[in-house]
């Protein structure tokens, strides 16, 4: 499964005005909960925070891929957003993050989860993709960019 398969326009936001890791994760969970309908924002946040306790999902170059598993859904969902200003996310390169691709997957979909994470990391390993995302001025532009990425 790829990011293009599970990302919707409703779960894409550009230049979100948050200034902390916690507020960012809360924003992500509000968007995802609306789409899933089977999990509360609190359940989603707990899932992300539990994963972050194991180590930051900030992969470097201003990018983070927070992700969590859910036991009350059979649907995978992605949330893609940028922030107005980069925020401290404890990334592996100790640099602030402004591009977030969040993934929620069913608890029992381990291989699908790993494959999707790998496809996201591969997509953003090309610095050109991140540069293009940072130039986007609205959610439609960001969504279209991801849908057309290879």
Catalytic residue among 13, 25, 29, 67: 67
Q: What is the CA radius of gyration of the chain?
A: 14
Q: Are 135 and 100 in contact (CB under 8 A)?
A: no
In sequence order, the 6+-apart residues with CB closer than 8 A to the CB of 109 are 69, 76
Judged on CB neighbours under 10 Å (0-12, 13-18, 19+), 132 is: middle
Handedness of CA 67, 70, 76, 79 (dihedral sign): negative
Per DSSP, helices labelled H in the chain are 3-6, 21-36, 41-54, 110-125, 127-135, 139-148
113 a catalytic residue = no
Catalytic residues: 67
């Amino acid at each position: 499964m790829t990011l293009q398969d599970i990302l919707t326009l409703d779960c894409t936001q550009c230049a979100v005005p948050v200034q902390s890791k916690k507020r960012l994760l809360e924003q992500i969970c509000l968007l995802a909960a609306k789409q899933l309908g089977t999990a509360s924002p609190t359940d989603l946040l707990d899932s992300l925070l539990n994963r972050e306790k194991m180590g930051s999902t900030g992969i470097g170059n201003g990018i983070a891929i927070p992700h969590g598993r859910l036991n009350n859904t059979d649907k995978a969902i992605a949330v893609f957003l940028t922030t107005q200003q980069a925020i401290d996310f404890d990334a592996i390169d100790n640099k602030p993050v402004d591009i977030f691709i969040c993934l929620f997957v069913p608890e029992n979909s381990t291989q699908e989860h790993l494959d999707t994470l790998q496809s996201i990391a591969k997509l953003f390993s090309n610095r050109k993709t991140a540069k293009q995302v940072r130039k986007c001025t609205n959610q439609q532009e960001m969504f279209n960019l991801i849908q057309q990425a290879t």
